[in-house]
Structure 1
Amino acid sequence: MGESVPPRRISVHQVLGGGHVADVLLWKKWSGGVLLLTSTASSWFLFERAGYNLLSFVANVLLLLVVILFLWAKSASLLNRPLPPLPDMEISEASVMKAADALHAWINRVLSIARDIAIGRNWKLFLQVAFCLWLVSYIGSFFNFLTLVYIGVVLSLSVPVVYDKYQGHIDEKLLVANRAIQTQYRKIDDSILKKIPLRSNKEKKVQ
């Protein structure tokens, strides 16, 4: 008997895009991960616990920034110092096209799913979408939007790392869970199909 070939390991870094975002989510760039986690935690504490208003906070930060830049520019002209090193505040056409392509693909994907459910009568896809929406609604009843964003950032910085480290064990558990879910889907499909009246062959021939 030949030896069983172990499943090929998936590169989580490549699945996440293989760029700076993947480096941050997998903690290959500690500074980016720490900055993202710290800023998210600070924002959550500031707006959720301290009761600070988001609109007032943004306005005050922008006001402080404008005052600093204005005073810096005035003092630089009086003291013959260099002006504030402001970057070129323009969005490139390539960035806009890239964002538009990503949005276009996402919208088409959503419309395709809606078409499969409404016209294709895909019961399996319908149950999956319904369950996901119900789960989001159920979780959203316990937390507000800002808390959900904070939880999402924490999960994004922890789940990919854990999966990358214990991919083999997690894949085994997911395979067992997937088989159980597929079995339940088949039972539901069979029960639904039994309730749908089917025309007999004689009726088809008469028509």
Structure 2
Amino acid sequence: MGDSRQFSVHLALGGGAVADLLLWKKWTQSVAFLVGSTALWFLFERAGYNLLSFVSNVLLLLVVILFLWAKSASLLNRPLPPLPNLEVSEETVVQAADEMRVWVNFALSIARDIAIAGNLRLFSQVATGLLIISYVGSLFNFLTLLYIGVLLSLSLPVLYNKYQIPIDEKLNVAYDVARIQYQKIADMMLSKSPLSSNKEKKIQ
């Protein structure tokens, strides 16, 4: 097994600032993101602070600082607050709409395969995934689930990047076992379906 089987996790994550953050390429930013996420989770989940009150207080503090800065700048002949030109460009809106369209079309194609084509395998996969999500969601609230997602996103990519070959080997073995078991279950369900029994009666 050579390194030829490896692929770039950094490129798979987009190859930009987000990939650097998740793979701890710039560890100061990753640590700051982890500490900030932990502080927010503790603040809202454990300390019982209200999200709406927190956002309002932060915005109020920011508005007061900017107002006092602008007033003092005009009185003391100092530069105004260095705020950029805050506006969303048409190109950004078009890119976001294109990205959203891809995901919506993908979801609609899955729904079409299930509802019209009657794809049993795809239906089983979607139903299993939704049941897992529902079960996990019943164990944690949304904020804790989001925080767990942050922890996993900061740990799993860097671990996979470091131990890619042995992880791929274990995943391939697990995939083969799951595929065999799934095929057995699917064959059993098809053999017990009314359509299958009707075919067997016609053959006899």
Question: Same fold judged by TM-score > 0.5?
Answer: yes
Match of 1:179 in 2: 176
Matched ranges for 1:1-207 at <5 A: 8-196=5-193, 197-198=195-196
In structure 1, what is the Cα distance between the partners aligned to 2:15 and 2:151?
20
Counterparts of 1:76 and 1:96, CA distance in 2: 35
Question: Structure 1 residue 6: deviation in Å?
Answer: 6.6
* 1:30 positional shift: 1.4
Q: CA RMSD in A?
A: 1.9
- How many aligned positions are there? 201
Superposition deviation, residue 113 in structure 1: 1.1
* Percentage of matched positions with identical amino acids: 63
Partner amino acid, structure 2, of 1:114? A
Contact 2:20 2:26 in 1 (8 A): yes
CA-CA distance at 1:31 after TM superposition: 2.5
CA distance in 1, matches of 2:108, 2:18: 27
Relative to structure 1, the CA distance from residue 163 to residue 79 in structure 2 (aligned partners, 3 Å threshold; closer, same or farther) is same
Offset, 1:32: 2.2
Structure 1: which 4+ aligned runs deviate by more than 6 Å? 201-204
What residue ranges of structure 1 are gaps of 5+ in the alignment? none
Retained in 1: the 8 A contact 2:73–2:79?
Answer: yes
Q: Aligned pair in 2 of structure 1 residues 75, 135: CA closer, same or farther (>3 Å)?
A: same
Q: What amino acid does structure 1 have at the position aligned with 2:52?
A: L
Q: Distance in 1 between matches of 2:200 and 2:129?
A: 39
> How far is 1:195 from its partner?
2.1
**Cα separation, 1, equivalents of 2:107 and 2:65:** 45
Q: State the distance in 2 between where 1:201 and 1:187 align.
A: 19
Change (3 A) 1:42 1:104: same
Structure 1 Cα separation of the partners of residues 17 and 121 of structure 2: 36
C-alpha distance in structure 2 between counterparts of 1:141 and 1:38, whole Å:
26
Give TM-score scaled by structure 2 length: 0.92
TM-aligned CA distance change 1:26 to 1:201, over 3 Å? closer
TM-score between the two structures when normalised by the length of structure 1: 0.91
Unaligned 5+ segments in structure 2 are none
